[in-house]
Chains A and B, each alone.
Chain A
Amino acid sequence: MTNDDIEFAQNRLELISFRIGEQEYCVDIMAVREIRGWAAATPLPQSPPYVRGVINLRGAVLPIIDLANRLGFGVTEPNARHVIIVVRIGSRVVGLLVDAVSEILTTTADAIQPTPDVACDAVKRFVKGILAVEGRMISWIVLDQILPDQSLEEAA
């Protein structure tokens, strides 16, 4: 391998892109465990609206996050066509409720552009950058803040 090859390998990003409403987003494929069809979640008491509940994934109890709501949109009414992207966030495994999964993108770190300033707070908090692909604008979501902030919750 030449030096250039090595550098290239380190710079490479693989992302899974998905759709919520009209918008496209993506996450690092390294965080993704699997993709599932929708399953009805058991609601959790006293939880924020974007926490839809929990489902059973082969014996593990997984919270389902309504990503649309988390990003500032309204609460999603899920149906059988929705998709759950199972991701790992730190030591937790969590499901993200999205409309559909699009494709796997390969790109490099320098292709990511910074988020425009006009974006609202929720977006700024979760969107790490923008990727332009074939004229489409895909927002790269960073997951570590997706779950409810525990310390805030407890003070409530």
Chain B
Amino acid sequence: MENEQLTVQRALAGDQAAMRALWTRHAPHVDVVVRRLVGHDPDLAADIAQEVWIQIFRALPSFRGDAQFGTWAHRIAVNRTLNALRRTRRMASVEVDVEDDTASVEPEGERALLAASIEEAAAKLSPGARTVFLLHDVEGYTHEEIAAELGITAGGSKSQLFKARAKLRVLLAHLVDAPANTKFQPESSHVAPLY
């Protein structure tokens, strides 16, 4: 927004009305990132969101204006939330989760656990897989950025993402599957793959 830089300048000068304006405009976006990464713990999410906003205003002098304020605040939200989750030891086993989180799901068994939304489905993933999926597919981070954030390799991030997608694909089958083509007749020599 063209005048947001002015609002930021006023906030930097200690104008609480400007700070409130920044919060009002960006809290619906920033707080949802925190909520998404934290998962089903609203109290923890609220605590972390408050920390995020304090950090945003604390770091405001370092905002150079070469990116949108919302983008800059979003990065702080992700970074601060991941740090907070590490503190609560939720992220302590990320690497283990990468290896342990398997994509081999039982289609019929999982169908009983279909999720109503991507958020609900992601909550069924391991914390590490959920974090990589959310950072890459929802927040738009690259594997290199995720690797730097989580202290894993880019290859590990990719591996975890693909496994997360495979599980989500099953959990959200009713939302992502196109209507079946009843005219399709598989070739007899073509064995259907196991997904």
Q: Do A and B bind each other?
A: no
